């Protein structure tokens, strides 16, 4: 009989006690413990079981769960035998003696998603205060502990920077003294405050605060046995880890813990057999595509669990949390970013160098940094890798799977959600060759969306329309994907056209669009700018590509878009 699927349960004990569906990942306990790394930074995409793994470690090691070996009795870690000659309290079974034997500090920054530094700092301080409140109860259990250290009385949401940065180290000292054993520190989603700080414009303040906290907690802490931090991104060492030289960084390309997060294909197909599901090829198309280290065919666990429960295909992973950072990078990015997104949405491979160390300050200016972050976050997968001309490794990247492609389509549709009627009306007018209506609706859309596509990028009157039209083209791609193959800024004839719509159905018109900003020195009116745009289409022979594909000249429409500020004239 198939087990019950529990959606969203991140408490290991709750899953085991209720016999919910669970893929045994306790081998991670053995691998991590025997690697003996001081501080491990584990990078995996969201919803890949990081929080559940941290909960599992807490249940296994924490003295709070001493005597709860029953939670692990049916799992692989309980059967791990000691090496020959090694003596353990658990007899031949080494890990049984470790269960419930260490003080553990477990905290998560998953909820630190504030729009200002003050509120984010306050949230972190409240998380630390809750930890202190939990361990303050130990005083009642041990009569010898006559009074708590003074710092317990200093911990509050309003505590100063010095107290906050020292707080986790001080708690480690107290617990080590209380139990006579150094502590294990588990920090989940360490990078959430940093991502939100970047999106909301308080990166520098947050970096200073976090750097001080991490240095005290993980570097100069003699009361720490070892620690794990999990996150989605590997933030550059210079940003918050400059003082940590004891950090073992495990990214998606590392060969450690390759199958400890996410489901292998064997695990997915075994689960499908358990639940009587047979659509294995469709599951592969929708949810496969992740590679960790040298292990391919890793599946997104959140989507698999939802598929087992609901027995239908959908973009489950894409809808689990905010994609604000991804949306910001693409929406506000250089035109090149949007052009590459066009290729990705059409299933093409992009070639780029990547740096797994994300430098957030470069995301606005370095397109390689954008693709590096999307790779680390699970939105892209490595399709190929080879040495480039300068001896540097270059990667071929594409969208991870069908689910991710749908996520981006939904994201782009959302950009136009507030002005969908005007946007859709423009598309309809263009297909009908209704110039008057095109002008009315394009002006409404442009007025509403110019600043939306340019926020935070210091746009000028010259660059603003270019950024806008590339974002607008992505919207066209999503809205007309069933009828047109849409590209922008590609070579044809004697130059590069701005936008081309190639019909997929016989009889539909083709379109070449040229965007121009009015130059007061050369053009007296916007109508002159429109004429210049149309003249450029003809002189540069932008129709060449369409004609070569058998589309007759009569079916090709030319439109010139002239911009002056946020005013648009189409002819």
pLDDT at 459: 46
Rounded Cα distance between 438 and 429, Å, is 5
Contact 323, 220 (CB under 8 A): no
pLDDT tens-digit profile of 77-93? 999 876 544 555 555 67
pLDDT at 160: 94
Weakest mean pLDDT among 27-41, 208-222, 341-355, 454-468: 454-468
pLDDT at 339: 83
Query: What φ, ψ does residue 489 adopt, rounded to 5°?
Result: 55, 45
222: Cβ–Cβ under 8 A, 6 or more apart, which residues?
A: none
Report the candidate in 532, 509, 512, 510 with the shortest Cα–Cα distance to residue 520: 532
Contact 364, 457 (CB under 8 A): yes
Rounded Cα distance between 64 and 137, Å, is 12
Weakest mean pLDDT among 36-50, 166-180, 291-305, 379-393: 379-393
pLDDT over 60 (residue 215): yes
Indicate the pLDDT class of residue 389, thresholds 50, 70 and 90. low
Rounded Cα distance between 232 and 370, Å, is 14
Q: Cα dihedral sign for 127, 119, 9, 291? A: negative
CA 336 to chain centre: 20
Rounded Cα distance between 174 and 210, Å, is 22
Indicate the pLDDT class of residue 14, thresholds 50, 70 and 90. very high
Mean pLDDT confidence for 493-519: 87
Mean pLDDT confidence for 392-410: 87
Q: 422 vs 190, which has greater pLDDT?
A: 190
- 28: part of which helix (H) or strand (E)? helix 27-35
> In the block, which residue shows the tokens 């907690």?
217
pLDDT at 457: 47
Contact 265, 271 (CB under 8 A): no
pLDDT over 70 (residue 296): yes
Weakest mean pLDDT among 65-74, 268-277, 474-483: 474-483
pLDDT over 70 (residue 460): no
pLDDT at 199: 85
E-strand spans in 189-321? 224-231, 234-235, 247-250, 263-264, 290-292, 295-299
Mean pLDDT confidence for 360-376: 79
Mean pLDDT confidence for 325-331: 79
Strands of the 183-188 sheet, one edge to the other: 104-108, 183-188, 224-231, 39-43, 247-250
Rounded Cα distance between 261 and 291, Å, is 11
pLDDT at 135: 87
pLDDT over 70 (residue 549): yes
Q: 548 vs 335, which has greater pLDDT?
A: 548
CA 114 to chain centre: 18
pLDDT over 80 (residue 348): yes
pLDDT tens-digit profile of 407-430? 888 888 777 766 667 777 888 899
CB atoms within 10 A of CB 9: 17
Mean pLDDT confidence for 333-338: 80
Rounded Cα distance between 275 and 270, Å, is 9
Mean pLDDT confidence for 389-399: 79
Weakest mean pLDDT among 226-240, 255-269, 379-393, 429-443: 379-393
Mean pLDDT confidence for 470-493: 80
The token duo for 277 is 């599901």
Rounded Cα distance between 376 and 355, Å, is 10
pLDDT over 90 (residue 472): no
Q: 312 vs 346, which has greater pLDDT?
A: 312
Longest dimension (CA), the chain: 93
Weakest mean pLDDT among 38-52, 115-129, 221-235, 404-418: 404-418
| One-character DSSP codes across 411-462 | HHHHHTGGGHHHHHHHHHHHHHT-HHHHHHHHHHHHHHHHHHHHTTS---TT
Q: Cα dihedral sign for 153, 159, 163, 166? A: positive
CA distances in angstroms from 460 to 199, 334, 445, 569, listed in the order given:
21, 13, 19, 19
Q: 143 vs 513, which has greater pLDDT?
A: 513
241: Cβ–Cβ under 8 A, 6 or more apart, which residues?
A: 211, 214, 235, 247
Proportion of the chain above pLDDT 90, given as a percent = 52
Contact 403, 315 (CB under 8 A): yes
Contact 215, 243 (CB under 8 A): yes
Indicate the pLDDT class of residue 139, thresholds 50, 70 and 90. low
pLDDT over 80 (residue 200): yes
pLDDT over 50 (residue 228): yes
| First CA to last CA distance, the chain | 67
Report the candidate in 333, 330, 342, 329 with the shortest Cα–Cα distance to residue 488: 342
Indicate the pLDDT class of residue 368, thresholds 50, 70 and 90. confident
Mean pLDDT of the chain: 86
Rounded Cα distance between 253 and 122, Å, is 35
pTM of the predicted structure, to 2 decimals: 0.83
- 209: part of which helix (H) or strand (E)? helix 203-214
pLDDT at 476: 79
Range 396-400, long-range pairs (CB < 8 A, 24+ positions): 396/349, 396/350, 396/351, 397/349, 397/350, 397/351, 397/352, 397/354, 397/371, 398/344, 398/347, 398/348, 398/349, 398/350, 399/344, 399/345, 399/347, 400/289, 400/290
The Cα angle at residue 181 between residues 176 and 184, in degrees rounded to 5:
80
pLDDT at 140: 62
Rounded Cα distance between 212 and 406, Å, is 40
pLDDT over 80 (residue 251): yes
Contact 264, 294 (CB under 8 A): no
């Amino acid at each position: 009989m198939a087990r019950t699927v529990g959606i969203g349960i991140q408490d290991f004990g709750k899953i085991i006690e209720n016999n919910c569906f669970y893929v045994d990942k306790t081998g991670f306990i053995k691998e991590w413990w025997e690697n003996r790394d001081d501080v491990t930074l584990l990078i995996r995409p969201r919803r890949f079981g990081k929080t559940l793994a941290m909960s599992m470690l807490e249940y296994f090691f924490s003295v709070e769960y001493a005597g709860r070996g029953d939670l692990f009795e049916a799992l692989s870690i309980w059967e791990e035998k000691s090496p020959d000659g090694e003596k353990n309290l658990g007899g031949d079974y080494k890990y049984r003696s470790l269960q419930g034997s260490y003080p553990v500090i477990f905290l998560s920054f998953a909820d630190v998603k504030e729009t200002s530094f003050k509120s984010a700092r306050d949230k972190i301080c409240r998380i630390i205060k809750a930890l202190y409140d939990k361990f303050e109860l130990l005083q009642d259990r041990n009569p010898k502990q006559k009074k708590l250290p003074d710092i317990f009385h200093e911990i509050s949401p309003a505590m100063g920077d010095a107290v906050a940065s020292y707080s986790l180290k001080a708690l480690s000292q107290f617990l080590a003294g209380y139990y006579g054993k150094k502590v294990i520190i588990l920090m989940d989603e360490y990078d959430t405050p940093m991502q939100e700080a970047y999106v909301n414009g308080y990166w520098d303040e947050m970096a200073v605060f976090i750097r001080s906290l991490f240095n005290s907690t993980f570097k100069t802490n003699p009361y720490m046995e070892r620690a794990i931090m999990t996150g989605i991104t590997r933030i550059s060492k210079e940003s918050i880890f400059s003082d940590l030289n004891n950090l073992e960084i495990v990214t998606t390309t590392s060969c450690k813990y390759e199958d400890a997060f996410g489901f292998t294909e064997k695990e997915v197909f075994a689960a499908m057999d358990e639940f009587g599901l047979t659509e294995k090829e469709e599951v592969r198309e929708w949810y496969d595509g992740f590679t960790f280290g040298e292990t391919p065919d890793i599946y997104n666990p959140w989507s698999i669990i939802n598929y087992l429960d609901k027995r239908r295909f959908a973009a489950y992973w894409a809808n689990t949390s905010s994609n604000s950072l991804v949306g910001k990078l693409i929406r506000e990015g250089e035109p090149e970013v949007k052009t590459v997104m066009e290729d990705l949405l059409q299933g093409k491979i992009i070639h780029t160098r990547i740096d797994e160390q994300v430098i957030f300050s470069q995301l606005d200016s370095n397109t390689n940094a954008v693709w590096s972050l999307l790779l680390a976050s699970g939105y892209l997968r490595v399709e190929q890798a080879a040495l480039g001309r300068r001896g540097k490794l270059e990667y071929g990247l594409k969208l991870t799977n069908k689910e991710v492609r749908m996520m981006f389509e939904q994201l782009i549709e959302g950009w136009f959600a507030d002005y969908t009627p005007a946007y859709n009306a423009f598309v309809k007018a263009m297909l009908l060759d209704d110039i008057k209506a095109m002008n009315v609706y394009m002006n409404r859309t442009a007025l509403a969306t110019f600043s939306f596509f340019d926020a935070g990028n210091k746009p000028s009157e010259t660059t603003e329309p270019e950024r806008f039209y590339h974002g607008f083209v992505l919207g066209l791609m999503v809205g007309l994907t069933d009828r047109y193959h849409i590209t922008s800024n590609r070579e044809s004839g004697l130059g590069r056209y701005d936008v081309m719509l190639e019909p997929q159905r016989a009889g539909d018109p083709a379109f070449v669009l040229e965007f121009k900003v009015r130059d007061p020195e050369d053009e007296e009116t916007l109508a002159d700018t429109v004429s210049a745009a149309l003249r450029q289409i003809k002189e540069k022979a932008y129709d060449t590509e369409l004609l070569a594909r058998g589309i007759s000249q009569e079916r090709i429409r030319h439109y010139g878009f002239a911009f002056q500020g946020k005013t648009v004239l189409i002819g």
